[in-house]
Amino acid sequence: MCGTATELGFEGLKKAIVGYFTPSHSKLQAQVGFILFNVLTFWFGALEAVLTFSITSLLLNACLSYIIAYSIWWAIIINKKKLNFKVAIAITALYLVWNAFSAFTSLILVVPAIIYAIKALMNFNVLVYAVKLYKQEFGTDASLL
C-alpha cells in the first residue's frame, strides 16, 4: 500500500494526526491518514451492522462499507488517474452525506446514531485526505469539477 508496516502502526497514526493539522505535509502522511480513516470508516460500518442484529443490515452495511472502502482506496492509492480520483471523492462525499443523514434519522435509537455519527466523522477525514492527495497528485490549482 504505502510504506512499510511500521509506518502504519503507532508512528503512522502519529504522522497522520500531525499531518491532518499541518498544511505542509508529505505525501506519505496524507496516504497514511487516508488509509487509517478509510479503514476506521469500514470497521465502524461493520460494527454498526453487527450491533443491529439484522442479517439485512449485516449484508447491506458491511458489504457496502467494504465495497466503498476498497474502491476508493484502489482509485486513490493504487490507480491514481484523475477521473478515478474525482469519482472516488464524489462517492466519499455521498457516503458522508448518507452517514450524516442516517445519524440524524436514527437519533431515537442512540447506539446506531452514535455509530453513524462516528462513521460520518471518519468519512469526513477520508474526504479531507482524499482532497489533499488529489491536490498533491495533480497540483494545488487542479479543479475537482
How far apart CA 141 and CA 145 sit, in angstroms, is: 12
Q: How many CB atoms lie within 10 A of CB 6?
A: 9
- HSE (CB half, 13 Å, CA atoms) of 127? 16
What is residue 62's predicted lDDT score, i.e. its pLDDT?
79
Average pLDDT on 43-60 reads 78
State phi, psi for 89 to the nearest 5 degrees: -65, -40
pTM: 0.77
Q: What is the pLDDT of residue 4?
A: 44
Residues 52-85: pLDDT tens digits?
777 777 777 778 888 999 999 999 999 888 899 8
d(CA 105, CA 39): 24
Given a cut of 90, whether residue 30 has pLDDT beyond it is no
Higher per-residue pLDDT: 3 or 99: 99
